[in-house]
Amino acid sequence: MDEVVRIGIAEYAVSQKPIILRTAGLGSCVGVIIYDQERGLSSMAHVMLPDSTISRNIALEIGKFADTAVVELARRLRQSGAIRLRAKIAGGAQMFQFKYEHESMRIGERNIAAVKLALRKANVPLVAEDVGGTNGRTIEFHSQTGRLVIRTVNVGTLEI
């Protein structure tokens, strides 16, 4: 049985061995998985917000923001020898409905867009996604198979 590493909100992990990366409580947050399956390298971040410009201490909050988390995961994987990086994402739900939705309240949509932009800038192709909706998710990435198992509240389980 592979080791399970739990990633909390605004955290990230990088691994060079067979592992299961898991994060729970993805509402408007986005789970970002970047991996090189052939080399056995994998990573996951639990991204809370789209843009690090609001951060007071970015060194302590790399996993919190789409722009910094994606760059850091790609950098660390490439540093470990990754050649063929790919990404999968899940989350970004609109958890609360507001009568007058101001753009700043649409965190899920903004997180999805920011993660996709950061992946393009880092030259990491997005190969699968399960994003949006109104329900929270728990995700589990199996590094040996490249499977991302997504459990969505009131919906069920999906594998991508």
Q: Select which of 29, 69, 107, 139 is catalytic.
A: 29
Instruction: Based on the residue annotation, tell me whether 29 is a catalytic residue of this protein.
Output: yes
User: Read out DSSP for 69-97?
Assistant: HHHHHHHHHHHTT--S-EEEEEE----S-
CA angle, 44 as apex, 28 and 15 as ends, to 5°?
165
**C-alpha of 12 from chain center:** 9
d(C-alpha 34, C-alpha 14), whole Å: 9
Three-state DSSP at 136 gives coil
Give the active site residues.
29
